[in-house]
């Protein structure tokens, strides 16, 4: 087993395991582990000319990216916007 296969296995299995955790603090990490495996998955399927699997890897990348947006990026952006708005509001009193 090559290094790329080992990384796909470790990150992919961790992502799948975490995605089924009922604790949101843990399940939100699934998308990051899933995304971590995608470069290796994409490269491996490209080199092997497995075009169906390559397309599947692209779809997985989109799905994991959606999770990264939902659990990490959007909340951080909302927090940042609220912070900036609170600074710009004049204090009453």
In the prediction, which pLDDT does 44 show? 94
Phi, psi of 49 (to 5 degrees): 55, 40
DSSP 59: H
Note whether 44 and 60 are within 8 A (CB). Answer: no
Confidence at residue 82, expressed as pLDDT on a 0 to 100 scale: 83
How far apart, in whole angstroms, are the C-alpha atoms of residue 2 and residue 42? 15
pLDDT of residue 80: 85
93 by DSSP, 3-state: which?
coil
| Regions of the chain with pLDDT less than 50 | none
What is the rounded CA–CA span in Å between residue 46 and residue 58? 11
Contact 45, 57 (CB under 8 A): yes
């Amino acid at each position: 087993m090559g290094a790329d296969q080992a990384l796909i296995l470790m990150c992919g299995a961790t992502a799948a395991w975490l995605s089924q955790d009922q604790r949101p603090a843990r399940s939100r990490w699934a998308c990051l582990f899933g995304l971590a495996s995608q470069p290796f998955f994409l490269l491996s399927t490209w080199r092997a000319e497995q075009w169906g699997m390559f397309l599947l890897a692209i779809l997985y990348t989109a799905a994991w990216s959606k999770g990264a947006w939902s659990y990490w990026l959007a909340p951080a952006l909302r927090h940042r916007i609220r912070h900036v708005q609170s600074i710009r509001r004049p204090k009453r009193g």
